[in-house]
Homo-oligomer: A and B are copies of this chain.
Amino acid sequence: MTGTTPATDALDLAEAGAVLAAEAARFAALGWMRGTSGNLSLVLSRDPLRLAVTASGRDKGELTASDVVLTDGEGAAVGPGRPSAEAALHARVARLTGAGAVVHVHTVASVVMGRRSPEGIPFEGLEMLKGLGHPTHEVAVTLPVIANSQDMTELGDRLEAALTPGMPAVVVAGHGIYVWGADPREARHRAEVVEWLLELAAAGG
């Protein structure tokens, strides 16, 4: 934790925990974090890279500000608590994309479409694509689909290879979606847009 005092870090972590708990409660209410699935993260510092990641195995609709773990740039715990194994993927997304926040949720539509379009899910001519930063609906983009793995290095390699300009998201087949943004609010808005697109595609639209 070079360059920051423990006290400041502790405060940041609790603040981040409160933000992530509120975000998780929203996603849980949408049915995107059933059981104890999914996890959210927020970048606390860039140099060194430190993330607040939601604690593993908790009900995502009932998190409190303390249900959060501080991790390093590899997703390993720095201090108390056990992060999700997927913290390593959150950290890698933050390193690769510069994102300040990462959302990982398990939605039915993402699994339906990952199975139906394992080579990637094409979207074209949709106004909603502007919600991912495109200036017009007149674009054609592909939401990448990568195979699942319990090995976070392998999964991260697949995610890195699949990264697509103009698409701040990846579907993990049989699993769910990763979506990222500059901060938790942008990551949430983009997650909502990506899920809307997936529900449209699943409905045959």
Contact = CB atoms under 8 A, between A and B. Distances in A.
A203 to B, nearest CB: 5
A67 to B, nearest CB: 14
Contact of A137 (B59, B148, B185): B148
A174 B136 CA distance: 12
Contact of A108 (B106, B135, B196): B196
Contacts of A175: 126-128, 137
Interface in A91-142: 106, 108-109, 111-112, 115-116, 125-128, 131, 135-138
Contact of A200 (B35, B108, B136, B205): B108
Contacts of A125: 148, 174
Interface stretch (A2-10, A42-50, A68-76, A187-195): A187-195
B37 A174 contact: no
A204 B112 contact: yes
B127 A59 contact: no
Given A127-B172, A189-B36, A137 B111 contact: no
Interface residues on A, range: 35 or more
A35 B127 contact: no
Contacts of A109: 203
A136 B152 CA distance: 12
Interface string A141-160: 00000001010000000000
A131 B174 contact: no
Interface string A167-205: 000001011100000000100011011011001101111
A195 B127 contact: no
Given A115-B205, A137-B174, A37 B200 contact: no
Given A34-B189, A34-B192, A35-B192, 14 more contacts: A34-B128, A34-B193, A35-B128, A35-B189, A35-B196, A36-B189, A37-B127, A37-B128, A59-B185, A111-B205, A127-B148, A127-B175, A136-B150, A137-B175
